[in-house]
Structure 1
Amino acid sequence: MTKQIICINWGRKYGPRYINRLYAGVARNITPPFTFTCFCDNPEGIRPEVRTEPLPELDVEMPTGTQGIWPKARLWSAQLADLEGPVLFMDLDMVVVGNLDGFFEEGEPQDVILARNQSTPFERLGQTSIFRFPVGKLLPLLERFKADPQAVADEYRFEQRFVTRNAPDGIKFWPSGWVRHFRRDCTRPFPLNYFLAPRQPEGARVVIFPGGTLPPHVIAGQFNKYYTTEGPMAHFQGLFSKDRRDPPFRYLRHYIRPADWVGNAWSED
C-alpha cells in the first residue's frame, strides 16, 4: 500500500522552506512507497519530489474572531486531486523525529485518527496537527460548515473540536507518546531552562509546535519571535525592559537554550 501524506499552504507565513523540510523529514523516516502532496496557492520554490495541487475550492467567507484554522476545511472535500483512501495530514510546522509507518498501520482504513490535545486534559479533544482520514469521509462536516461558517466557528471555536465531535463514526487517538508538544514536553522548567537545552522526548515520532513557537525559533534558542537569541544574560536583562510582553515569572520560564536535535530533524537534506 502506498502511504499518502498531504499538507496545505496558503499565504506567506510558511511557504517552501517549511514544505521542503517537512518532506525531507518524512522521506528520512518512512518506508516507501509513499506520496507527498501539498495543496497550495503557489508552487514556486517547492522541491520537485513534492506533488503540488491547487487548493481545493472553498467559496465561503471565513469566520472571524475565532482561533481555529478554518481554511483546513478545504481538506474535507469529496475529492482531493486523484487521491483515494486514507491520507495522513501533517501541519507544516511540525518536526519528524521518528518512524512514521505506524501512522498508516494503526486502526482501520476507514478510521479518523487524531492526536489527543494536551491543552484540554478534561475534554476528549483531538489535535489536527497530524491526523488520518479517508478522502471524502469528512464531507458532511464541510457541508455543515459551508451552510453557516460563522455559526460553526462560534460554537466550536477550533476546527479540531468540530472534527472531534462530528466526524462520521467518531474518532480515535494515536497511541500516547507518538505526538509530543514542544512547549509541554520538551522545554525545561525554570531555572533548569537556563542551563539545559530542551529535551527530545523518548519514543516520539513527531513534535508539534502550537502557540507561536516555531522550529527556527528553538533552533536559535528563542522561545518565539518576541524573545532574544543573545543568550541567558541578555534574556535576564530583558526582565527589566519596559517593552517586556509577559509577566515576570512567565518571562523567565520562556527562556530556552538552542535545541540542536530540532535543527538536525528540521533539515532539507
Structure 2
Amino acid sequence: MIDNRYVICMKWGTKYGAEYVNRLYNMVKRHLTLDFQMVCLTDDSTGIDDNVKCYPIPALNLPDNIPERGWKKLTTFKPKLYDLKGTALFLDIDIVIIDNIDCFFTHQAQFDDSVMIIRDWKKPWRMVGNSSVYRFKVGQNTYPNLLSYFEQNFEKIRGEVRHEQAFLSNYLREHHHLEYWDSSWCVSFKYHCLQKIPMAYFVPPKKPIGAKIVIFHGEINPPDAIAGGGGKWYRHVLPSEWIKDAWR
C-alpha cells in the first residue's frame, strides 16, 4: 500500500521569490507531525531550501501563444508526475499556516477518487473549489483523462470558465468525486480576518478561531498583512502581528 505523503507547491515567474517556498516549508514542518516530502514545481529553484525537492513544471500541450500561467496547477494531475506516488496536499505558496494541519492528510474522504478542496466562500452555491489547498492521489493514474481532456478541449473550456479551479471542480464532479474541507479549516484573509470599514481603520485583522490555514487571494499578500496596506480603500489593512508570527 502506497502511503508516501507529499506537500506540493508551485512557483513560476518573478512575483514570488524563493522565500515564499522556504517559509511555506518551515510552516508545514512546524504544523505537520506526520512524515512528508516537500516538493516544488518551479521554473527557477535558486535559493529554495535543500529540503525541498524541486522539479520543472510540466508543460501543457496548449495552442501556441496561449499563456499557461492560469492553468499550470492542472499539471499536478499528470498520470505520472516524475517519481511521485502517494497522497499529495497541494498548497499555494502565499498561504499562512496557523495551526496543526495533520487533518488534511488524516481526513477520510467518502470515495477513493475524491479530491478534497476548499469550497468557494463568496458564492458557495456554485460548488466551485478554491484550489489554494487540495488533496489528491499523485502518480497513481487515478484521474487518467483529466489533463488530456483539458488539453484536447481547451478552446471550449476557456470559453466556459475563467480559471483552472472552475474547470477542475466541474470535471471532478462529472467524472470523479469532489469533496470539501471543513469550512472552518481554510479561511480567507480578506473575507474572514479583515475588519469592515470604518472599524478597519482602528482594529487590526482578527485571527480566526479554529482555522488552520489563511488564504490570501486578490491584491493582499502576507507581507502586506504584516506591514499594513495593500488593500483597496474598502479593505483597509492594519498591520497583523499574528501573521508576522506565523509567516516565517
> Is this a same-fold pair by TM over 0.5?
yes
Q: Does 1:119 align with 2:126?
A: no
Q: Does 1:4 align with 2:11?
A: no
Q: Does 1:259 align with 2:240?
A: yes
Change (3 A) 1:188 1:63: farther
Q: What is the alpha-carbon distance in structure 2 between the residues aligned to residue 15 and residue 90 of structure 1? A: 16
SS of 2:196 mapped into structure 1 = coil
Match of 2:78 in 1: 77
Q: What is the alpha-carbon distance in structure 1 between the residues aligned to residue 181 and residue 44 of structure 2? A: 32
CA contact (8 A) 2:4 2:87 kept: no
Change (3 A) 1:63 1:149: farther
> What is the CA distance between 1:134 and its match in structure 2?
0.7
Q: Greater CA radius of gyration, 1 or 2? A: 1
Q: What is the alpha-carbon distance in structure 1 between the residues aligned to residue 107 and residue 188 of structure 2? A: 20
- CA distances 1:2-53 after superposition (whole Å, capped 9, x unpaired): 4311011111111301101111111110013111000111111001111111
Q: Does 1:179 align with 2:186?
A: yes
Q: What is the alpha-carbon distance in structure 2 between the residues aligned to residue 105 and residue 32 of structure 1? A: 10
Match of 1:204 in 2: 211
Which aligned pairs between 1:132-151 and structure 2 lie closer than 5 A?
132-135=135-138, 136-151=141-156
Q: What is the alpha-carbon distance in structure 2 between the residues aligned to residue 88 and residue 208 of structure 1? A: 15
**Cα RMSD for the two superposed structures:** 2.0
Q: What is the alpha-carbon distance in structure 2 between the residues aligned to residue 155 and residue 18 of structure 1? A: 32
Which aligned pairs between 1:44-83 and structure 2 lie closer than 5 A?
44-61=46-63, 69-83=70-84
SS of 1:89 mapped into structure 2 = strand
Q: What is the alpha-carbon distance in structure 1 between the residues aligned to residue 123 and residue 180 of structure 2? A: 14
Q: What is the alpha-carbon distance in structure 1 between the residues aligned to residue 190 and residue 142 of structure 2? A: 32
Change (3 A) 1:65 1:143: closer
> What is the CA distance between 1:64 and its match in structure 2?
5.8
Change (3 A) 1:165 1:114: same
TM-score (norm 2): 0.90
Change (3 A) 1:262 1:62: farther
SS of 1:69 mapped into structure 2 = helix
Q: What is the alpha-carbon distance in structure 1 between the residues aligned to residue 116 and residue 130 of structure 2? A: 9
SS of 2:40 mapped into structure 1 = strand
Match of 1:245 in 2: none
Q: What is the alpha-carbon distance in structure 2 between the residues aligned to residue 100 and residue 150 of structure 1? A: 38
Q: What is the alpha-carbon distance in structure 2 between the residues aligned to residue 97 and residue 149 of structure 1? A: 37
Q: What is the alpha-carbon distance in structure 1 between the residues aligned to residue 170 and residue 72 of structure 2? A: 18
> What is the CA distance between 1:57 and its match in structure 2?
2.8
Runs of 4+ in 1 over 6 A off after TM superposition: none
